[in-house]
A = this chain, B = another copy of it.
């Protein structure tokens, strides 16, 4: 009998596909072994435990999404870049819900440093070049972008927008418009720094 040809890479890839199909919490060592035609105990020469399996999915997803983000960003600047990147982010989450969920697991510091997490914040900083923000505002803006993207996608995935006629796509477009305006009118120092409104 030939060997099944299990490698860590193929394992992570299969786990990611499984996660997209049935949800991350159903990504189990046993089920994965079943898909490779192998006994579950055999997988423990490749992975430490079930948790590490999910971590590998997270790392895989971070890298994939970073690639998509980079492709979306290429040749764009300003609001164009912002929208393209945001759509890449949301599109990936729609296409790969399990991988996206996996991205939310907390990585230990070493794994986090070896992951593509840094590329993500670097790309957001690249977007912000179109808005000329100095530190520490740049860091704050990166966190605003990350929070808004992740928050929207997360709520959408949890079905939070289903119970209302207004479509999620329209809201998403409006949120991006608003982010663009907010970044251009970034509050300069303490409190308010703008005109209009509040009679």
Contact = CB atoms under 8 A, between A and B. Distances in A.
Contact of A140 (B131, B159, B166): B166
A37 interface: no
A186 B197 CA distance: 10
Interface residues of A, number: 54
Interface string A159-188: 111011010001100110111111011110
A181 B175 contact: no
Given A181-B182, A185-B196, A187-B177, A139 B164 contact: yes
A196 B184 contact: yes
B154 A181 contact: no
Contacts of A71: none
A144 interface: yes
A152 B143 contact: yes
A158 interface: yes
Contacts of A181: 182, 185, 187, 192-194
Contact of A187 (B136, B143, B178, B196): B178
A164 B163 CA distance: 38
Contact of A180 (B112, B166, B192): B192
A72 to B, nearest CB: 19
Interface string A130-142: 1110011101100
Given A151-B147, A154-B150, A170 B131 contact: no
Contact of A146 (B105, B150, B160, B194): B160
B161 A184 contact: no
A105 to B, nearest CB: 8
A112 to B, nearest CB: 7
A199 to B, nearest CB: 9
Given A140-B178, A143-B171, 7 more contacts: A106-B159, A139-B171, A140-B171, A144-B175, A181-B182, A181-B192, A184-B194
